Structure 1
C-alpha cells in the first residue's frame, strides 16, 4: 500500500520500451517530450493492478496472458482529441463539392476516433448530396474509440460548432440520467460502417474505392517515411478525381504523389 502513496517515475529506459511497443503495435512514434503524458495516462493502470513502479507494469505487459492489456496501452496512448466539425472549412468545401457530384458517393473517415468526424460528414452529406446513395466507412486503431463511436452519445458541449438547427435535426437530447448529453439519431448511425483498421498495415481487401478520404490529424504522429507509406497505401483506395483531406497542420509536400492541391490541405487524385 505504501508504494502507491508515492508516485513512481517513468525512467528513460522504461519510456524507450513503451516507445518500442507503440511503434511495433501502431507505427506511432512517441516523441521524447511525451514522457510526462505517457506516465500520466498509464498511472491509472498501475493503480488498477496495485503496482509500485512502471518496471512492474512493463513486466506485466511482457506476460503473454496480458495481450489485452498491451492493446489497452495503445488505446490509452493514442491521442483522441476531436470534436464535431473540427477544421470547419473542410466541411464547407466537402458540402459544396458533394452538391456538384452525381451518382453514388463512398466516403472514408480513416482515423475516426470517437466518431465526431464521420457523424459530421454524415450530416453534411444528408444536407448536400444530390443522391441518397452515399455511405461512410469509419475506421480507427482503437477498439475503445470505435465503441464510443458506435454508441454515438456525446456531451452537449460537443454541439457548440453545429450549424444552426442541426442538433435538433440529427440528434436526440438526453433526459433523466442522460441530461446534458445527446445521441446521434439511428438513421444517421446506420449510414456508417465502423471498422478496426491499422493504417500502418496492409489494408483489408474490398475496402474501396472511395470518392473521398479524410485522413486528418494523423500524419503528425509518424516519421516522414511512415507518412509516405500511409498516404501511398490510402490513395490506392481513392478513385481518380477523388479527394484526400489532411489536417491543416499536416503536409504531404515532396511526397511525389499523383495529386494536385485543390484548396488548403485538400488534394485531388489525378
Structure 2
C-alpha cells in the first residue's frame, strides 16, 4: 500500500505501456508532455486499489478479466475540456442554416464530452427550426463524461456563455441543496440521446444518416492518417448538402474529402 510520504513515479517503461494502451483502445497519441497528467489522473486508482506503484497497476491491466479497468483508464486519460457555446460563430452558422430548412433534421455531436456542445446545438435548433421533427445524437468514448451529460446538470457559472434569455427558456435553476447549479429542461433533454461511440472503430449501423455533424476539437489528438480515416467514416453518415463542423484550430487540408468549404472550419457535404 502507498504511503503519503512516498508517491510513486511513472517510469519510462510504464509510460510507454500507457501510450500504447491509449493508442490501441482509442487511437489517441499521448505525447511526452502528458506524462505528469497521466500519472496524476491514475494516482487515484492506485490508492483505491491499494497498490504501491504504477508497475503493479499496469500488471493488473494486462489480465483478461481487467477489461473494465482498462475502460476506466481511457475515461480518466481522455481530455474533456468543453463549455456551452464554445466557438460561438459555429452556432450562428448552425442557426442560420437550420432556419432555412423545411424538413426533418437529425444532427450528431460526435465528441460531445459532458454534453455542453450537444445542448448548445439543441438550444440553437429549438430557436431556429421551422420543423418540430428534429433530434440530436451525442456520443463520446468516455463513459464517465456521458454519465454527466445524461444528468444535464452544470454549474450556474456557465450561464454567462448563453445568449440573452436562453437560460430562462431552456434551463432550470437549482434551489436549496442544488443552488449554484442549472439543469437543462425536460423538453430539450428529450431531444438529445447520448451513447458511447469509439470513432476509431467501425460505426454501428444504426447511427445516421445526419444533416449536421459536429466533430470539433478532437482531430487534434490523432495522427494525420487517423484524422482522415475518422473524417471519412463520419462523412459516410452525413447527407449531401449537410454541414460538417471542426474546431477552428483543426484542418482537413490535403485529405481529398467530398466537402466544400462554407467558411473556415465549416464545410458542406458534396
Kept in 2, the 8 Å contact 1:22–1:74? The answer is: yes
Q: Is the 8 A contact 1:4 1:47 kept in 2?
A: no
Instruction: Decide whether the 8 Å contact of 2:91 with 2:121 is kept in 1.
Output: yes
Task: Tell me whether 1:18 sits opposite 2:12 in the alignment.
Answer: no
Whole-angstrom distance in 2 between the partners of 1:68 and 1:216 = 27
Separation (CA, whole Å) in 2 of partners of 1:121 and 1:6: 47
Q: CA deviation at 1:171?
A: 0.5
Unaligned residue ranges in structure 1 (runs of 5+): none
Contact 2:238-2:269 at 8 Å conserved across structures: yes
Q: Secondary structure at the match of 1:51?
A: coil
Instruction: Please give the alpha-carbon distance, in whole angstroms, between the structure 2 residues aligned to 1:136 and 1:218.
Output: 19
CA distance in 1, matches of 2:66, 2:178: 34
1:121-136 aligned within 5 A? 121-136=121-136
List aligned pairs for 1:19-98, cutoff 5 A.
Answer: 19-98=19-98
Q: State how far apart, in whole Å, the 2-side matches of 1:117 and 1:131 are.
A: 21
SS in 2 for 1:5: coil
Give CA deviations for 1:49-90 in whole Å, capped at 9, x if unaligned: 122211011011122332211101000000000000001010
Secondary structure of the corresponding residue to residue 138 of structure 2: strand
Contact 1:14 1:55 in 2 (8 A): yes
- 2-structure distance, mates of 1:228, 1:182: 38
Between 47-56 and 259-268, report the one with greater CA deviation. 47-56
Pairwise CA distance, 1:6: 1.2
Structure 1 residue 5, shift from structure 2 partner? 2.3
Write the deviation string for residues 205-240 of structure 1: whole angstroms up to 9, x where unpaired.
131111100000000010000000000000000011
Q: Secondary structure at the match of 1:60?
A: helix
What is the RMSD of the two structures over their aligned residues, measured on CA atoms?
Answer: 1.0
**TM-score, normalization: structure 2?**
0.98
Number of equivalenced pairs: 270
Which residue of the partner structure matches residue 137 of structure 1? 137
What pairs up with 1:137-156 in 2 under 5 angstroms? 137-156=137-156
4-13 or 116-125, which deviates more:
4-13
What is residue 200 of structure 2 aligned with on the other side? Answer: 200
Q: Which runs of 5+ in 2 are unaligned?
A: none
- Cα deviations by residue, 1:160-191 (Å, 9 ceiling, x for unpaired): 10011111110100111111001100110110
Q: Is the 8 A contact 2:210 2:237 kept in 1?
A: yes
Shift of 1:195: 1.4
1:144-168 deviation line (CA, Å, top 9, x unaligned): 1111111100011122100111111
CA distance in 1, matches of 2:118, 2:180: 22
Post-superposition Cα deviations, 1:12-53, rounded to whole Å, max 9, x if no partner, equal: 111100011111111111111111110111111111112221
Counterparts of 1:221-260 in structure 2, within 5 Å, are 221-260=221-260
SS at match of 1:36: helix
Q: Aligned-pair distance for 1:3?
A: 4.0
